[in-house]
Structure 1
């Protein structure tokens, strides 16, 4: 084997190793910019490529027809300011996106429309990252000025771009799956009408904060409320009016409680709020404020105001008791408020 054959073999081995390295990086569970940065770093370390030690990876934004620079190595501030976003068709990277063709330049020629003071002489490989007919991004690499285009380099860089396309598509599919799973998880615990926790989620939260209150020996208060004469609201204004009443009460409850309080719709016209670290007196004060807020905030249905009131029961955790006992006492207090004429707060 002569020297040239040895060089070709070594080059082939390094190509394969680099592609395998980039492929391993591509399937890691990292944010996409970090993945692309690591892939770029591996590529710039290839000994037989005549690359300057800097480069970048753009992601395509099809809606705006722009490229967004998300990973880069050794690019100066002037370049970053000029090239953080590049329209399709502008400069060499934009041309690579618009044409879906590799753009080579041996120098800063007429296509290189982005200029800034102190720009150094250089050439470029701008490699489109494509899957099917879709442009996913552009890989931007820097060459010494006067570099001669090498078909072997170009074929290798196109193979690298194929692996980057896999990384981008894989990460986007994973992110979409994560968003879908999160959405399904949220739907499973959320009342669709009001956006509050649903009954099942509320009782799960009750078990959690109860255990925490027992462990830390802290108070825990529960408030339950029921919209007064809700059937009359439905009869007078229809179910749309009833829905608006429920949404209005939910908004008042959420706006009038703290970020760490737990607000839920238990079903029908009944709501509940858990107050971690709160005693009976403070919870009753909050309940009175919520009662007044509901009474002063009419629901609006088709331009008509619906005046609302609600009855409240409040109870606090007792030592050596169970969550179910707290709910029962609070429920009894709520019905005592109903018996007293409604639109009031009763403590257990």
Structure 2
């Protein structure tokens, strides 16, 4: 049964409307996708630049803050009013330093060390009398102003008290040499700026730029290690990225491919005025999913509006297609009427589109031609029917002749010629595929006595009865033939000598066990006779020229059975020799 597609079930009007709607949907989907991709790319570039500006703002605040801290320590170290205090009593100096710390709370520790590195006094008395001669800030502070990079507290870690949060105390060291009245260096004023100041600066920058939802700011040192942000101390930039930072101190996309799902911008804190800067790298990043959310919202809005317009377009196409296809529907209805009504053989002239008029004209011409062709076809069919009937009769005659030529008219078995032809094919097949074939020859015992006593009609009955037993015991693939008189030959397929003997014994037993009804004799009495058969068996040998050689051996075995007293089965000499 032919399969019916969806287009076959829909009308032309529905197909036009559906195609228009699908086209609109595809165009809207493609437009929305293109808008989303372009918008996402443009948004990524825009937000990347804004993040770079955010990083630059953070870097500027860090530079300016560090400049202020740097300048504050320098101003304190150079104040002439404090020159007498530096070498006064430690208690007096400590109170002065604590007043300074109260004015500048971002410093976790302020202390003054003599020229030999011994801390004369410090805020809260921390490290008083301790030697800081080997600390980098002191050694560098003797030579001039010094500012060091962020590091964890070493000497002060156990003196500052418990730390809120998980991270340890971290400082930025600031140091200035202190000169006496004669201009000689009498010590170093050192201060440890708490790195919490940078965290407060970051929160302030993010608060000002609160439109960056989910944004983060990280501060890295010049080697790319995290100073402020998640995974403190981890190296976030490789050598190639650091080289890019050196070549281009500000930009976006520094971590592109390394942190998938983030948009990034960066800037380098390069210093401010007298503050030389420490090469800090500021990274500002925002999740791409959050950054591109407005673009996705816009694409969804476009998609929803587009779907609505697609529905309107489909409705408009449905109305327009109805007007355009009305002549086609009329033409279809007329054509269907012609198919249902045998008395209608033409179409009316239809108006409408030029194509419809031309189609109507062509169909009218086609119907006229079809009428002529139908008449000729009917005439040809009558002639074909007549010839077909003659052909069937001829085929039946040929089949009857073939059956007469190949079958024995008395028993319906194969005759000698048909058997030999079929046996030749079976022998060729058996030798090609190395299959076994057996031949059985049977002969009715004392058949002449049956004819002499009961007549030839009774003999024919006896022959048909024996033929029926032979045929019933054989398989569909076996060949059973009457070779003449009371003699029969059977070709057993796929059978060895044992199978042949088994078949022969079954036939012999069946025939001897059932008397043959011969009808009534000349006196009107029922007559019956018990028949016996003698059978000879052999198998096709490699040296046999054809099946006739096997039949001759089986026939020899048959004569041996007759000589042994009849009503028995014998195998050929070749099989007996092989068995012995």
- What TM-score comes out, normalization by structure 2 length? 0.34
Pick aligned residue for 1:123 from 326, 341, 344: 341
Q: Distance in 2 between matches of 1:286 and 1:319?
A: 23
> Is 1:332 equivalent to 2:549 in the alignment?
no
Q: Distance in 2 between matches of 1:152 and 1:51?
A: 15
Q: Distance in 1 between matches of 2:549 and 2:420?
A: 13
Pick aligned residue for 2:566 from 323, 342, 347: 342
The correspondence of residues 169-318 of structure 1 with structure 2, limited to 5 A, is 169-302=386-519, 303-318=526-541
Structure holding more helix per residue: 2
3-state SS in 1 of match to 2:455: helix
The correspondence of residues 105-116 of structure 1 with structure 2, limited to 5 A, is none
Report the Cα offset of residue 331 of structure 1.
0.6
**Does the CA-based 8 Å contact 1:226-1:311 persist in structure 2?**
yes
3-state SS in 1 of match to 2:457: helix
> Is 1:166 equivalent to 2:390 in the alignment?
no
Report the Cα offset of residue 230 of structure 1.
0.4
Report the Cα offset of residue 269 of structure 1.
0.2
Distance 1:275 1:51, change over 3 A: farther
Which one is further off, 225-234 or 172-181? Answer: 172-181
Report the Cα offset of residue 320 of structure 1.
2.4
Q: Distance in 2 between matches of 1:286 and 1:293?
A: 11
**Does the CA-based 8 Å contact 1:52-1:143 persist in structure 2?**
no
Q: Distance in 2 between matches of 1:51 and 1:255?
A: 63
Q: Distance in 2 between matches of 1:343 and 1:175?
A: 48
Q: Distance in 2 between matches of 1:53 and 1:236?
A: 81
Report the Cα offset of residue 158 of structure 1.
4.7
Distance 1:54 1:247, change over 3 A: farther
**Structure-2 residue corresponding to 1:81:** none
Deviations 1:5-58 (A, max 9, x none): xxxxxxxxxxxxxxxxxxxxxxxxxxxxxxxxxxxxxxxxxxxxx875998xxx
Distance 1:192 1:52, change over 3 A: farther
Report the Cα offset of residue 159 of structure 1.
4.2
Q: Distance in 1 between matches of 2:424 and 2:431?
A: 11
Q: Distance in 2 between matches of 1:322 and 1:285?
A: 26
Q: Give unpaired runs (5+ residues) of structure 2.
A: 1-333, 347-366, 520-525, 573-580
Q: Distance in 1 between matches of 2:337 and 2:511?
A: 65
Which one is further off, 265-274 or 215-224? Answer: 215-224
Q: Distance in 1 between matches of 2:530 and 2:411?
A: 18
Q: Distance in 2 between matches of 1:328 and 1:335?
A: 11
Q: Distance in 1 between matches of 2:511 and 2:338?
A: 62
The correspondence of residues 8-157 of structure 1 with structure 2, limited to 5 A, is 52=336, 122-124=340-342, 157=374
Report the Cα offset of residue 152 of structure 1.
10
**Does the CA-based 8 Å contact 2:538-2:553 persist in structure 1?**
yes
Q: Which has the larger radius of gyration?
A: 2
Q: Distance in 1 between matches of 2:463 and 2:532?
A: 12
Q: Distance in 2 between matches of 1:248 and 1:54?
A: 66
**Does the CA-based 8 Å contact 2:516-2:528 persist in structure 1?**
yes
**Does the CA-based 8 Å contact 2:338-2:345 persist in structure 1?**
no
3-state SS in 2 of match to 1:124: coil
Q: Distance in 2 between matches of 1:306 and 1:143?
A: 77
**Does the CA-based 8 Å contact 1:219-1:276 persist in structure 2?**
yes
RMSD (Å), alpha carbons: 2.8
Which one is further off, 337-346 or 166-175? Answer: 166-175
**Structure-2 residue corresponding to 1:319:** 542
Q: Give unpaired runs (5+ residues) of structure 1.
A: 1-49, 56-121, 126-141, 145-149
